[in-house]
Amino acid sequence: MEIGMIGLGRMGANIVRRLMRYGHSCVVYNRTPDKVAQLEAEGAIGAASLDDLVQKLTPPRIIWVMVPAGEVTEQVIGKLADKLERDDIIIDGGNSYYKDDVRRSQALQKQGIHYVDIGTSGGVWGLDRGYCLMIGGPQEAVEQLDPILKSVAPGKGEIETTPGREQLKGTAEEGYLHCGPVGAGHFVKMVHNGVEYALMQAYAEGFDIFRSANSEELPADHQYTLNVADIAEVWRRGSVVGSWLLDLTAIALAEDPALSGYSGHVQDSGEGRWTLMAAIESAVPADVLSAALYTRFRSRQEHTFAEKVLSAMRYQFGGHVEK
């Protein structure tokens, strides 16, 4: 099929590459032209502007927007709306807030333009492994995109079939899923990231306990100096806690068990935050998802004001001066 891609960052460029591997024709545009040139060299059709990209695509067009969520996405889609025609499809493949999807889709619907939101997971490994796709939007538009989605997704691969799957239809086993109406794709991807933070935090706390197991605060015969790289490795085989995140942890710890090259400043993106807001709005207790996010907030500060308030109270009632 023919598809336009706007935004050639790591994710956008690799999705184009993967699409070309499967024989799709890609018209590509990026704010900085060097990335366009690079993909032209690999077989894509370059576009010099949004207008150029629109003109080079045959209607009804399919345009995948893969730019930073928030204002940039808002602007690009706003500009596209003026250039597109009835029955064209805009895919927002970034990490947009699902409420923005709903709002934008309602506006575009008036022009007969279809809006499809796709959450993608796969990171730097996606080019070869394929990307897990979580999709929201109108049934017809999503069906039309099927050949593209199938190519970007990982497919069944060598992963064992889930018992009981035979009776269930659908594409989930292929690694892509139409989750529901507009916004549903980003909603599912949002929670995916919330869960991801908490999974990461679970391992992180466990390895922190291991690193601290030789603390001198502990009685001598309860102190252990543990090899965290080996522990991560042994857990990869036969244990209940095996996962892809554990595989990655094993790689990092095999390089340097002290992880001394990593600062410990941990960023968070909107999805982790929005996941909590969604939990709060529907009154779901989300204890570990919250704790995982707050750890990241805390990691980026030298001291919180909260901690100073604690110090101040301790001084006031007990005369304690913290060092």
State the catalytic residues: 189, 196
Among 47, 83, 248, 271, binds its own copies (CB under 8 A): 248
Strand partners, 63: 4, 90
Q: Shortest Cβ distance from residue 51 to its own copies (Å)?
A: 32
Q: Shortest Cβ distance from residue 78 to its own copies (Å)?
A: 19
CB atoms within 10 A of CB 70: 14
Say how far apart CA 115 and CA 57 lie, in whole Å: 17
Q: Does 1 bind its own copies (CB under 8 A)?
A: no
- Burial (0-12, 13-18, 19+ Cβ within 10 Å), 103: middle
* Contacts (CB under 8 A) with its own copies, residues 171-210: 171-177, 179-181, 183-184, 187-188, 191-192, 194-196, 198-210
Say how far apart CA 212 and CA 222 lie, in whole Å: 12
Among 59, 139, 242, 271, binds its own copies (CB under 8 A): 242
Q: Shortest Cβ distance from residue 74 to its own copies (Å)?
A: 15
In the complex with its own copies, the residue whose CB is nearer, 34 or 166, is: 166
Say how far apart CA 300 and CA 202 lie, in whole Å: 19
Among 54, 102, 116, 118, binds its own copies (CB under 8 A): 102
Say how far apart CA 64 and CA 74 lie, in whole Å: 14
Give the range of 31-39, 88-96, 110-118, 311-319 binding its own copies by CB under 8 A.
Answer: 311-319
Q: Does 71 bind its own copies (CB under 8 A)?
A: no
Say how far apart CA 221 and CA 214 lie, in whole Å: 10
Strand partners, 4: 27, 63
Place of tokens 């199938």: 150
In the complex with its own copies, the residue whose CB is nearer, 41 or 240, is: 240
Q: Shortest Cβ distance from residue 91 to its own copies (Å)?
A: 17
In the complex with its own copies, the residue whose CB is nearer, 27 or 177, is: 177
* Contacts (CB under 8 A) with its own copies, residues 218-237: 218, 221-222, 224-227, 229-231, 233-237
Place of tokens 């980026």: 300
Place of tokens 């707050």: 294
Total binding residues for its own copies by CB under 8 A?
156
Q: Is 133 helix (H, G, I), strand (E, B) or coil?
A: strand
* Contacts (CB under 8 A) with its own copies, residues 267-306: 267-268, 273, 275-300, 302-306
Q: Shortest Cβ distance from residue 67 to its own copies (Å)?
A: 17
Q: Does 122 bind its own copies (CB under 8 A)?
A: yes
> What is the Cα 257 distance to its own chain's centre?
27
Among 121, 138, 146, 150, binds its own copies (CB under 8 A): 121
Distances (CA, A) of 192 to 15, 64, 96, 148: 20, 21, 13, 22
Q: Shortest Cβ distance from residue 220 to its own copies (Å)?
A: 10
Strand partners, 2: 25
